[in-house]
Structure 1
Amino acid sequence: MQLFTDMIRGQPLLCGQLCVLFCLVVLLDWDKSLVPPRDTQFFENDAKLANELKSDTVSSYFVIAFAYFLFLPIFVTVPNLSSRGFSLRFVGSFDKSRKDELCPSLLYYLYAVLATHFVTCCAKIYVGRKRPNFFAACEYHFAANAKKAPLFPGSSLVKGEVQFCKKDPISGMLSFPSGHASLAFSSTVFVAMELSGRIFTQAALLLFAVFVACSRVVDNKHHPEDIIAGAALGTAVSAMVHTRMIRTYFDRESPDGEKSSVVNGAYNSSPVAQDRQMSGMTGRENRAE
Structure 2
Amino acid sequence: MSTLRPGSVSDTTPLQRFESQSSSGEEPSSPTASSIIAAAAAAAAASSNKTPNHNNNNVKLDLQLPTFVGNSGSHGYIVPNNKPALRGPRQIFGRILMDLCLLSCVGLPMLGFSLYGEAFKRGFFCNDSSLRHPYKESTMPSWILYLMCGALPFSVMIVVEFFRAQDKRGSFQKHRLGSGYHLCHLELPSWLLECYHRIGIFIFGLGVEQLTTNIAKYSVGRLRPHFFTLCQPRINGTDCSNPLNAGRYIEEFSCAAVDITSKQFKDMRLSFPSGHASFACYSMLYLVIYLQRRMQWKRLRMLRHLLQFLLLMFAWYTALTRVSDYKHHWSDVLAGSGIGLTYAVIVTSTMW
Q: State TM-score, norm by structure 2.
A: 0.57
Matched residue, 1:126: 219
* Alignment partners' CA distance in 2, 1:50 and 1:27: 31
Match of 1:25 among 101, 106, 110: 110
Q: Is the 8 A contact 2:236 2:253 kept in 1?
A: no
CA 1:9–1:193: 2 relative to 1, 3 Å:
farther
Q: Is the 8 A contact 1:37 1:125 kept in 2?
A: yes
Match of 2:145 among 49, 53, 63: 63
Q: Which moved more, 1:18-27 or 1:41-50?
A: 18-27
CA 1:8–1:109: 2 relative to 1, 3 Å:
farther
Match of 1:106 among 178, 196, 199: 199
CA deviations over 1:24-59 (Å, ceiling 9, x no partner): 223323x3xx12111123111110000001011111
SS in structure 1 of the partner of residue 335 of structure 2: helix
Matched residue, 1:43: 125
CA 1:163–1:19: 2 relative to 1, 3 Å:
same
Alpha-carbon offset, residue 74 of structure 1:
1.0
CA deviations over 1:103-131 (Å, ceiling 9, x no partner): 71111000111111111111100011110
Matched residue, 1:228: 334
* Alignment partners' CA distance in 2, 1:22 and 1:62: 22
* Alignment partners' CA distance in 2, 1:73 and 1:61: 17
CA 1:116–1:38: 2 relative to 1, 3 Å:
same
Structure ranking higher on relative contact order (CA contacts 8 Å, 6+ apart): 1
Runs of at least 5 residues in structure 2 that lack an aligned partner in the other structure: 1-86, 166-170, 176-187, 293-300
Matched residue, 1:175: 271
Pairing of 1:153-164 with structure 2 (within 5 A): 157-161=247-251, 163-164=253-254
Q: Is the 8 A contact 1:188 1:206 kept in 2?
A: yes
SS in structure 2 of the partner of residue 104 of structure 1: helix
Match of 2:344 among 211, 235, 238: 238
* Alignment partners' CA distance in 2, 1:12 and 1:231: 32
CA 1:162–1:62: 2 relative to 1, 3 Å:
farther
CA 1:49–1:164: 2 relative to 1, 3 Å:
same
Alpha-carbon offset, residue 135 of structure 1:
1.1
What amino acid maps onto 1:204 in structure 2? L
The structure with the larger Rg is 2
Q: Which moved more, 1:7-16 or 1:53-62?
A: 7-16
Alpha-carbon offset, residue 158 of structure 1:
2.9
CA deviations over 1:109-158 (Å, ceiling 9, x no partner): 001111111111111000111100011122323683377546xxxxx523
SS in structure 1 of the partner of residue 125 of structure 2: coil
What amino acid maps onto 1:76 in structure 2? I
Name the Cα RMSD after superposition. 3.3
What amino acid maps onto 1:70 in structure 2? L
Alpha-carbon offset, residue 13 of structure 1:
4.1
CA 1:64–1:160: 2 relative to 1, 3 Å:
farther
CA 1:45–1:76: 2 relative to 1, 3 Å:
same
Q: Is the 8 A contact 1:67 1:113 kept in 2?
A: no
Alpha-carbon offset, residue 208 of structure 1:
0.1
* Alignment partners' CA distance in 1, 2:273 and 2:335: 6
* Alignment partners' CA distance in 2, 1:120 and 1:137: 23
Matched residue, 2:19: none
* Alignment partners' CA distance in 2, 1:7 and 1:104: 13
Q: Is the 8 A contact 2:123 2:252 kept in 1?
A: no
Matched residue, 2:192: 93
Matched residue, 2:284: 188
Q: Is the 8 A contact 1:44 1:142 kept in 2?
A: no
CA 1:142–1:163: 2 relative to 1, 3 Å:
closer
Alpha-carbon offset, residue 216 of structure 1:
0.7
What amino acid maps onto 1:72 in structure 2? F
* Alignment partners' CA distance in 1, 2:109 and 2:147: 18
What amino acid maps onto 2:211 in structure 1? F
Match of 1:213 among 306, 319, 330: 319
Q: Is the 8 A contact 2:133 2:229 kept in 1?
A: yes
Q: Is the 8 A contact 1:15 1:107 kept in 2?
A: no
Matched residue, 1:254: none
Alpha-carbon offset, residue 171 of structure 1:
1.0
